[in-house]
Each structure stands twice: as structure tokens, then as C-alpha cells.
Structure 1
Amino acid sequence: MGLGVGFVVLAALFWGLSGGIGGILMAEGWDAFVVSFYRGAIGLLFVLAWLAWRPGGSGLGNPRLWFWSAVAGLGVAGNFAFYFVSIANGSVAVAATLMYTAPVFVYIVSFALKLETPTTLKLVAIAVVMVGIVMLTQIYDTGAGGVTLIGAGAGILAGVSYALFIFGFKYAGSHGSPQAILSIAFGVLVILLMLPGDNTQMVAVLTTTDWPLFAALGVFGAGLSFALYINGLKYTAPAVASIVAMIEPVTATLFGVVVLHESLALVQVLGMALILVTVTALSVFSRATPPALVKDSERDSEA
């Protein structure tokens, strides 16, 4: 149990730091899509190495694995890209917290597909999160500054995209191994994010002095973090993993405040608290959460 929790803690910590690293790169002029592309491309190299090391039960001959993994790839591509667009048009703290609302969108999709039964508690929780989003982004105050409409919208879309990744990963999980699923998903991401990225910058990354930051972003923000999280869930209760996952937005917020000198108004801090507490409670007390969904695929992954 202790080792599993440690893996999940490290994964959440790395995800939180990846937002800060991306913020530094974009502050230096790198395009959000270029940053997203290299995060996924380097992550792809990592998970391909994992697949080569553990090729058993990959399921790569199953068309359903490819379909659902491609859906997961569409989700993770949107998640990475919208997350960094949100940071570029707002702040690391706001973007990370909005992305943390992914379980709310899992509920909404589950309700729409009749996979989950709406209850008063769930609907109230969703309403509270929406209030928190309004407070955090301050979209009601056009003169507030800081978070633009694009930044707020992209942050929410990052959460929606992560929800799509969750569903794709869940359904792919019964057809193959996590490393195979992630290899296909990151491959789809690389193809999709080649299109909107700045071609000049794509090439310039290969010779830039910022390459250590790109490497760290890819290894810790995509490859290693996903492997740690999936393996950590083998030995960690979903409820515990849900609570530990709060480390990600908290780490990202602290990085933004301390390193990038970002600041939040009191109403934004209160909104953030509403979102984090409510989403964590939903994740702990419900079976329709990201950790529980990912858990379904563990039977296909042997240590």
C-alpha cells in the first residue's frame, strides 16, 4: 500500500510540475501546441520502451484496442493542448484547477449515456463545482484581468478532454495492456498536434538550449508519470488515489506563485477550494471517478 501511494504521489507531483515547466517554456516564447507536441512525443518514446520491455498481453492485434486507444489519444491530445493554451491565456493555478474538474464531466457524460444515475448529491456537487469555476475564473468581471475567456474556456476543455481520455482508456483496458494503450494514444496525439504547431519552432526545439526543459516535460509530465500512476493504482485504493491526486493542482499552483510570480485574488482562492474539496469528495464517494475507471484496466497489466 505504501509503495502504491508513493507512486501515485510522484505521478501527481510530476503532473503538477509539468504545468509549471510548460509555463516557463511559453513565457520564453514557445507555442503552446509545440510544447504539447513534445510533451506527448517524448512520452511516446517512454511508453514504447515500456511496451518493448513488457510486450505480453499487449492486444495489438485487436481492432477494438486500436479504436478505443485512438479515442483516448484524442482525449489526451486535447488535454495537453488545451491545458497549455489555458496557461498561456491565464495562469498555471487556474488551468490546473479547471483541469481537475474532469470527474464532473465524467458524470455529465455518464448521465447523458445513462451509464450513471443522477442523484441529488451528485447534482448539488456539480452545481458547487460550477460556482467554484465562476469564482476562480472571475468570468463575471471583464475588468478583473489575468484570466481571459480563452484561458477559462481552454481550461474547462482540458478537463472535458481528460474525461474523454478516461472513457477511451477504460474501454480499451479490456482489450490490451496499459503500455499498448498509451503507445497508441500518444501516437495519435503526435499526429494530431503536428498540424496546429508552428513548424519553425518544431524544428528549432531540436537545437535549442531549452531542450532539458522539453525533455523533463516529456519524461516526467507524460511517460514516467503515467507509468507510475497506473502501477500505483495496483496497490492503492481508488478513494486514496483520488485524495492524493489533489497534489497535482496544489503543486501547479505553488509553482505558479513561487516560480512564475502569479497571484490569485481571495475570491479565486475560495473558488479553487470549492472545486478541489468537492471534486475530491466526489472521487472518494463515487465509483464513477478517474481512478476507478483506470482501475478496470489493471487486470491486463502484469507487473
Structure 2
Amino acid sequence: MRSVGVSLVILAAICWGVSGGIADILMNKGWDPIVISLYRGMIGFVCFFAWFLLRFKQNWTSSTRLYIWSFLAGVGVAGNFTFYFLTIQASSVAVASTLMYTAPVFVLVISFLLRIERSTWFKWGCILGVLMGIIMLTGAYNTDSISVGLLGVASGLGAGLSYALFIFGFKNASSIGKPQPTLTIAFFSFCLILLFIVDIDEAASVVTSNDIGWLLLLGILGAGISFIIYVIGIQWTAPTTASMVAMVEPVTASLFGFLLIGDQLTIIQILGMVLILVTVIVLSVKKHPHPQIKYSHQRKKKTV
């Protein structure tokens, strides 16, 4: 079952990578990133709600704590999707997806501030490695020819921070109840948040546009199916393995951008991307020793 779990996580990561490319295509057609983000989340919510209703009695919960943590996860995913698409608009799919994977570094820094984790030279070395990778990826080492503007860097790091918030909220909610109600509540919260900031007229015009098919595909691949198979897959996968194979997402996004959209990366940018991804993998492996594998085996006993 372990190989099945890894395969499902890889498939989910590929779906996420492709969704970034689809979003780039839609933005090139003139659609606002927030509108694209809203439809991705709304379609995802419909999928999760249907999954929740399949076993309503087993999935229903009245835990207030689950609602609070799920809402926090919804705030995180709203920020993640929106900042991710804004970064694509400001730079490229490859840069956006890579900056988003700085999430473990944000978790580490917050853990230092809250004194949850001890500060070590190894961990600070990982943080420095990611910062060097960001500088190389964005071209910040040469202010005369910087490839990614300040807005792109800020939104990319915002996507990473939001991703960390989603992981934090989802992990705590899942320890109380099942993933079905957690994802349903999180994405319902997501929809409410974005409805307050989206251009309603533009969002409504999607229904009668020729691009409705692209947005449906984005929502199904980028939220609905991908999150469901990821949640199922991680039950049979150690956290360290899941974090490593999820790195397929920025690779897929980069290939999609290069082959179908025409995005170009310099050698230094590619090296910066590799440095970020390798550092995050090393950090994930070092932070999650063997006891975590035991946890993943215990999760097998839960039914999804």
C-alpha cells in the first residue's frame, strides 16, 4: 500500500503543477487572479461536499474546535491560491510554484519565535540556503536586471506563508475529525472570504464565457480531485516521503510553463530553484525522524 500512497501523492502534485499552468493561460486571456482563485476553490468545495455527503453520518461532527481549525485552514488556502496566482501574473509558473514551497521555512521560523523548536546551526543553514535560492531565482543579486519584482517576491512568499497556515490548520482539524468535514468547512470559508474581495461582475461573466471549461478543469484538477487523492495517499505514506514527492509540483509547473506557455529560465534561476527544493527536502527529512513513520502507520486504521 505504501507504493499506492506515494503514487497518489505524486498524482496530486502533478495536478497542482498543471493547475498553475492553466491559471497562467487564463490570466493571459485577461481573467483576474482572484476570480480564477475563487472558481478553483468553489469547484473544490462542491467536490468535497459531495465526498462528505457520501458518508454523512460517519463524517458529521459538532466539534467547535474542528470548525475553528478548519476555518483557519480555509484562510490559509484562500491566501495560498490567491497569492500563488498573483505571483504567476507577476513572474512565471516556475517561480511561483518554487516560492510557494518555502512554507516549511516559515513553519521553522515561527516555531523558533514560539519556542516550539530549538534553534540550531543546521536549521539556520537551511534558512540561509533557501534565502540564497530565492535571491538566485528572482535575480535580486543584480538590481539592474532583476527578473521578478518586489510584488512577485512578496506574493510568492505570501503563498508559502499561507500554505504553512493551511497545513497547520488542516493538521489540527484532522486530529479531531475526518478530512471530509475539514476540507468542506475549509473551502466553504475560502469561498466566503474571496466573495468579499472578488469583482462580482467579472466572476458572474465566467458562466457565459468561452473559458468556463478551463475554469472547471482548473477546479477539478487543482482542488477537487487532487486534494482528495492527496488526503487518501498520505494515509499510506510517511510524512517525509510525502513532503519529498510533493516537490513534483514545481517540476511539473516548470515543465508546463516551458513546453506549453513558453516561460524561460536562466541557468542561475534553475540553480536557485534546485537549491530551494533540495534544502526544503533536507529540512523535511531532518525534522521528521522515524517516529513520524509510526504515526503514518497508525493513520492507516482510520477510514476515509
Q: 1:130 to 1:142 in 2, by over 3 A?
A: same
1:185 aligns with 2:186: yes
In 2: Cα distance, 1:112 partner to 1:15 partner: 31
Moved more, 128-137 or 115-124: 115-124
> What does residue 97 of structure 1 align with?
98
Residue aligning to 1:33? 34
Flag structure 2 segments of 5+ consecutive residues without an equivalent. none
Residue 282 of structure 1: aligned partner: 283
The structural deviation recorded for 1:186 is: 0.4
Aligned to 2:54: 53
Q: Distance in 1 between matches of 2:68 and 2:82?
A: 21
Question: Is this contact kept in 2: 1:83–1:95, CA < 8 A?
Answer: yes
Tell me the amino acid that sits aligned with residue 6 of structure 1: S
Which residue number in structure 1 is paired with residue 21 of structure 2? 20
| Mapped partners of 1:198, 1:296: distance in 2 | 45
Q: Which amino acid aligns with 2:237?
A: T
**Structure 1 contact 170–296 (Cα < 8 Å) conserved:** no
1:18 CA drift (Å): 0.7
Deviates most, 197-206 or 91-100: 197-206
Matching residue of 2:224: 223
| 1:110 match | 111
User: How far does residue 300 in structure 1 lie from its aligned partner after superposition?
Assistant: 8.8
Deviation string, structure 1 residues 262-288 (Cα, Å, up to 9, x no partner): 111221111111001110111122129
> TM-score when scaled to structure 2?
0.93
203 and 88 in structure 1: CA distance in 2 versus 1, 3 angstrom threshold: same
1:175/1:296 CA distance change after superposition, 3 Å: farther
State the match for 2:143 in structure 1.
142
Matched, 1:153 2:148: no
Q: What letter matches 1:102 in structure 2? A: A
Q: Identity, % of aligned pairs? A: 48
SS at match of 2:144: coil
| Alignment match, 1:194 | 195
Q: TM-score, normalised by structure 1?
A: 0.94
8 Å contact kept, 2:236–2:297: no
Q: Distance in 2 between matches of 1:219 and 1:136?
A: 30
Task: Determine the C-alpha separation between the residues in 2 that align with 1:116 and 1:287.
Answer: 13
How has the CA–CA distance of structure 1 residues 128 and 229 changed in structure 2, closer, same or farther, with 3 Å as cutoff? same
Give distance in 2, aligned partners of 1:27 and 1:68. 36
Tell me if the contact between 1:68 and 1:168 (Cα under 8 Å) persists in the aligned partners. yes
SS in structure 1 opposite 2:143? Answer: coil
Separation in 1, partners of 2:104, 2:119: 14
The 1-side partners of 2:149 and 2:192 are apart by 29
SS in 2 for 1:34: helix
Could you report, residue by residue, the CA deviation over 1:93-128 in whole angstroms, capped at 9, with x for unpaired residues?
A: 000000011111111112222222222211111111
Unaligned runs of 5+ in 1: none
CA shift, 1:175, in A, is: 1.8
Q: Secondary structure at the match of 2:11?
A: helix
1:205-247: per-residue Cα shift (whole Å, max 9, x none)?
1111111110111111011111111110111122221221110
Check conservation: 1:17, 1:252, Cα contact below 8 A.
yes
How many angstroms apart in 1 are the aligned matches of 2:181 and 2:298? Answer: 12
Q: Which amino acid aligns with 2:244?
A: I
Q: Which residue of 1 aligns with 2:253?
A: 252
Relative to structure 1, the CA distance from residue 261 to residue 297 in structure 2 (aligned partners, 3 Å threshold; closer, same or farther) is farther
In structure 2, relative to structure 1, the CA distance for the partners of 1:260 and 1:176 (3 Å cut) is same
Distance (Å, rounded) in 2 between the aligned partners of 1:227 and 1:76: 15
Please identify, of 75-84 and 144-153, the stretch whose mean Cα deviation from structure 2 is larger: 144-153
Residue 190 of structure 1: CA displacement?
A: 0.5
Q: How far has the Cα of 1:31 moved from its partner?
A: 0.1
CA apart distance, 1:59: 5.2
| Partners of 1:223 and 1:301 in 2: CA distance | 21
CA distance in 1, matches of 2:246, 2:26: 24
- Give RMSD over aligned pairs: 2.0
Partner of 1:123: 124
In structure 2, what residue type is equivalent to 1:80? F
Contact 1:104 1:279 in 2 (8 A): yes
Larger helix proportion of the pair: 2
